[in-house]
């Protein structure tokens, strides 16, 4: 019963931390700070938890995200797919009898491996909240974009693409860096990039961005959007076929959701954007209920 009537849910990522006080299935108080796991020294997690309880009350605490990684408080080993709320709840990493960390999920399919940590609560929560059906394709874009097959309300398969990280590397350190400073929006240049990305010849298409500059065929203002479209488009092309009628459920902030939606729709798919925070809360509450 501990995690039902009143408990603390902590979404503890790499760079940020969010605390929610959950009372009878509702959030009654929340805070956000930049104390992600990389800002907390190895031995300081108990003190951090104590400080959270000093502020929010001496309550049970359920944590998710990188706090369960090698960079965090304690490693919560991956649960192999298929994995639903019950499997997550049954494999929590208990720090003490009122403090637990949610595990990530792994999949190994014919030698190809994949892992997630932190996204599982949102993804399973989206289903628990009824925002996404139990059988669906979900997309959680970001530094590492997760594409997840949900079957009977369990994560059965997934693929992670380094889309966000690749764009950031190119923008900061590559020969294209000076061309990629402009903001990205899902306009014509982005869609042209999505189309080129459909060739799935990323290393060559990227050089084309430089060649277009050398030959004065594209403005630098358009190059960032084109390149983003290229990277997202090649990701979407590998995952979404226009022939499929099943929609793609996208969990992301509004800007990223707009880009992925545009790319999915450009390839003939249907995109439905889901509220990530609502999904996280539904997920963590569902895990709490399962413990009672």
Under the binding rule (CB under 8 A), the answer on residue 185 touching its own copies is no
- Indicate the angle between helix axes 220-239 and 163-173, nearest 10 degrees: 160
* Interacting span for its own copies (CB under 8 A) from 3-11, 42-50, 208-216, 253-261: 208-216
Under the binding rule (CB under 8 A), the answer on residue 291 touching its own copies is no
Work out how close the CB of 212 gets to its own copies at its nearest, in angstroms, rounded to a whole number.
5
Beta carbons of 22 and 6 less than 8 angstroms apart: yes
| Closer of 172 and 183 to its own copies (Cβ) | 172
Under the binding rule (CB under 8 A), the answer on residue 203 touching its own copies is yes
Two structure tokens written together for 253: 């902030």
Two structure tokens written together for 118: 């932190």
The per-residue DSSP string of 172-184 comes to HHSTTGGG--S--
Residue from 217, 243, 245, 254 in contact with its own copies (CB under 8 A) = 217
Q: How many CB atoms lie within 10 A of CB 273?
A: 19
Two structure tokens written together for 93: 């990493």
Strands 61-64 and 6-12 turn out to be parallel
Residues 95-114 that bind its own copies (CB under 8 A): 106, 108, 111-114
Site string (230-259) toward its own copies, x via CB under 8 A: -x--xx--x---------------------
Residues 137-176 that bind its own copies (CB under 8 A): 144-145, 159-163, 165-166, 169-170, 172-175
Site string (3-42) toward its own copies, x via CB under 8 A: ----------------------------------------
Residue from 1, 42, 54, 214 in contact with its own copies (CB under 8 A) = 214
Taking CA atoms, 33 is separated from 39, 65, 169, in Å, by 11, 15, 26
Spell out the residues 6+ positions from residue 191 whose beta carbon is closer than 8 angstroms to its own: 229, 262, 266
Integer Cα distance of 257 and 99 in angstroms:
33
Integer Cα distance of 211 and 218 in angstroms:
9
| Closer of 13 and 98 to its own copies (Cβ) | 13
Integer Cα distance of 109 and 256 in angstroms:
29
Integer Cα distance of 229 and 223 in angstroms:
10
Under the binding rule (CB under 8 A), the answer on residue 272 touching its own copies is no
Binding site for its own copies (CB under 8 A): 78, 106, 108, 111-115, 144-145, 159-163, 165-166, 169-170, 172-175, 196, 200-204, 206-208, 210-212, 214-215, 217, 231, 234-235, 238
């Amino acid at each position: 019963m501990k995690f039902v009537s009143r408990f603390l849910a902590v979404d503890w990522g790499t760079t940020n931390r969010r605390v929610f006080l959950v009372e009878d299935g509702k959030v009654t108080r929340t805070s956000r700070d930049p104390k992600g796991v990389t800002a907390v020294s190895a031995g300081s997690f108990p003190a951090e938890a104590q400080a959270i309880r000093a502020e929010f009350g001496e309550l049970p605490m359920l944590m998710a995200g990188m706090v369960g990684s090698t960079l965090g408080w304690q490693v919560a080993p991956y649960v192999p797919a298929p994995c639903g709320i019950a499997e997550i709840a049954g494999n929590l990493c208990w720090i003490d009898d009122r403090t637990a960390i949610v595990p990530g999920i792994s999949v190994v399919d014919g030698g190809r491996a994949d892992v997630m940590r932190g996204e599982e609560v949102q993804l399973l929560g989206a289903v628990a909240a009824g925002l996404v059906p139990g059988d669906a394709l979900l997309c959680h874009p970001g530094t590492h974009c997760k594409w997840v097959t949900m079957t009977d309300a369990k994560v059965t398969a997934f693929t992670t693409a380094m889309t966000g990280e690749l764009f950031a590397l190119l923008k900061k350190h590559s020969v294209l860096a000076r061309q990629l400073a402009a903001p990205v929006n899902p306009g014509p240049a982005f869609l042209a990039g999505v189309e080129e990305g459909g060739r799935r010849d990323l290393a060559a298409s990227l050089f084309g961005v430089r060649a277009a500059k050398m030959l004065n065929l594209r403005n630098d203002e358009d190059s960032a959007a084109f390149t983003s479209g290229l990277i997202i488009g090649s990701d979407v092309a590998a995952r979404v076929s226009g022939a499929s009628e099943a929609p793609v459920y996208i969990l992301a902030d509004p800007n990223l959701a707009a880009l992925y939606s545009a790319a999915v729709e450009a390839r003939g798919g249907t995109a439905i954007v889901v509220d990530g925070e609502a999904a996280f809360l539904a997920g963590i509450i569902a895990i709490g209920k399962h413990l009672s």
